[in-house]
A and B are shown apart, each in its own frame.
Chain A
Amino acid sequence: MDPPPDEFRNCLALPRDVTASILMRLEAFEILTSAQMVCSPWHNLCKDPSMWRAVHMRNTVAPYWEFPYDLEKMCRHAVDRSCGQLVDINVENFGTDELLRHIADSSSRLKRLRLVKCYGISDKGLSGVAAKLPLLEELDISYSLLSKEALEAVGRCCPLLKSLKFNKRGQKYHGACDEEALAIAENLPELRRLQLFGNKLSNDGLQAILHGCPHLESLDLRQCFNVTLAENLGRRCAEQIKDLRRPHDSTDDYEFDASYELFDEDEDYDYYGYNDYEIFEAYDDPDY
Chain B
Amino acid sequence: MANNGENPSPDVGGKTVKLKADDGEIFEVEEAVAMELQTVKSFFDDDGVSYDTVVPLLNVSSTALAKVIQYCRRAVELRAKSGDDEGANEKAREEREGLEAELVREESDEGIKELILAANYLNIKDMLSFLCRAVGDRIKNKSVEYVRRFFVLENDFSPEEEERTRNEVAWAFEGVDAD
B108: Cβ under 8 A from any A Cβ: no
- Decide: B166 and A37 in contact? CB cutoff 8 A: yes
A242: Cβ under 8 A from any B Cβ: yes
Contacts of B136 in A (CB 8 A): 22-26
Contacts of A77 in B (CB 8 A): 169, 172
Contacts of A64 in B (CB 8 A): 176
- Decide: B151 and A12 in contact? CB cutoff 8 A: yes
- Decide: A34 and B142 in contact? CB cutoff 8 A: yes
- Decide: A70 and B156 in contact? CB cutoff 8 A: no
**Provided the pairs A26-B139, A39-B154, A39-B155 are in contact, do residues A15 and B120 lie with their beta carbons within 8 angstroms?**
yes
B116: Cβ under 8 A from any A Cβ: yes
Within the assembled complex, what's the spacing in Å between the Cα atoms of A23 and B153?
15
Chain A interface: which size bin? 35 or more
A208: Cβ under 8 A from any B Cβ: no
- Decide: B157 and A39 in contact? CB cutoff 8 A: yes
Within the assembled complex, what's the spacing in Å between the Cα atoms of A137 and B93?
24
Output the nearest chain B residue to A14 by Cβ-Cβ distance.
Answer: B151
8 Å CB interface, B121-145 against A: 128-129, 132-133, 135-137, 139-144
Interface string of B51-89 (1 = CB under 8 A from A): 000000000000000000000000000000000001000
Contacts of B178 in A (CB 8 A): 65
Interface string of A98-121 (1 = CB under 8 A from B): 000000000000000000000000
A10: Cβ under 8 A from any B Cβ: yes
Output the nearest chain B residue to A32 by Cβ-Cβ distance.
Answer: B169
**Provided the pairs A13-B117, A35-B147 are in contact, do residues A70 and B137 lie with their beta carbons within 8 angstroms?**
no
Within the assembled complex, what's the spacing in Å between the Cα atoms of A29 and B148?
18
Contacts of B116 in A (CB 8 A): 14, 18, 22
- Decide: B151 and A70 in contact? CB cutoff 8 A: no
Residue in A11, A13, A36, A242 with the greatest tally of chain B CB atoms within 10 Å: A13
Within the assembled complex, what's the spacing in Å between the Cα atoms of A121 and B7?
60
Output the nearest chain A residue to B162 by Cβ-Cβ distance.
Answer: A37
- Decide: B176 and A38 in contact? CB cutoff 8 A: no
**Provided the pairs A13-B117, A14-B113 are in contact, do residues A22 and B132 lie with their beta carbons within 8 angstroms?**
yes
- Decide: A65 and B176 in contact? CB cutoff 8 A: yes
**Provided the pairs A18-B116, A34-B147 are in contact, do residues A70 and B165 lie with their beta carbons within 8 angstroms?**
no
A43: Cβ under 8 A from any B Cβ: yes
- Decide: B175 and A14 in contact? CB cutoff 8 A: no
A79, chain B: closest CB distance, angstroms: 14
A40: Cβ under 8 A from any B Cβ: yes
- Decide: B172 and A73 in contact? CB cutoff 8 A: yes
A45, chain B: closest CB distance, angstroms: 12
- Decide: A242 and B148 in contact? CB cutoff 8 A: no
Within the assembled complex, what's the spacing in Å between the Cα atoms of A32 and B167?
11
Output the nearest chain A residue to B135 by Cβ-Cβ distance.
Answer: A22
A237: Cβ under 8 A from any B Cβ: no
Within the assembled complex, what's the spacing in Å between the Cα atoms of A71 and B151?
28
Contact of B86 among A14, A24, A33, A242 (CB under 8 A): A242
Within the assembled complex, what's the spacing in Å between the Cα atoms of A165 and B120?
35
Interface string of B156-173 (1 = CB under 8 A from A): 110001100110010111
- Decide: A67 and B156 in contact? CB cutoff 8 A: no
Contacts of A27 in B (CB 8 A): 140
A21: Cβ under 8 A from any B Cβ: yes
Contacts of B117 in A (CB 8 A): 13-14, 18
- Decide: A38 and B148 in contact? CB cutoff 8 A: yes
Within the assembled complex, what's the spacing in Å between the Cα atoms of A11 and B169?
24
A74: Cβ under 8 A from any B Cβ: yes
- Decide: B128 and A21 in contact? CB cutoff 8 A: yes
- Decide: A70 and B132 in contact? CB cutoff 8 A: no
Interface residues, chain B, with chain A CB atoms under 8 Å away: 86, 113, 116-117, 120, 128-129, 132-133, 135-137, 139-144, 147-148, 151-157, 161-162, 165-166, 169, 171-176, 178-179
17 residue pairs of the A-B complex, CB under 8 angstroms, read: A10-B156, A14-B113, A14-B151, A22-B132, A22-B135, A24-B136, A25-B132, A25-B137, A30-B141, A38-B144, A38-B148, A65-B176, A65-B178, A69-B174, A70-B176, A77-B172, A242-B86
Beyond A21-B128, A22-B132, 16 extra complex contacts between A and B, CB < 8 Å: A11-B153, A12-B151, A24-B132, A25-B136, A25-B137, A27-B140, A35-B147, A37-B165, A38-B147, A39-B148, A39-B155, A40-B161, A65-B178, A65-B179, A69-B173, A69-B174
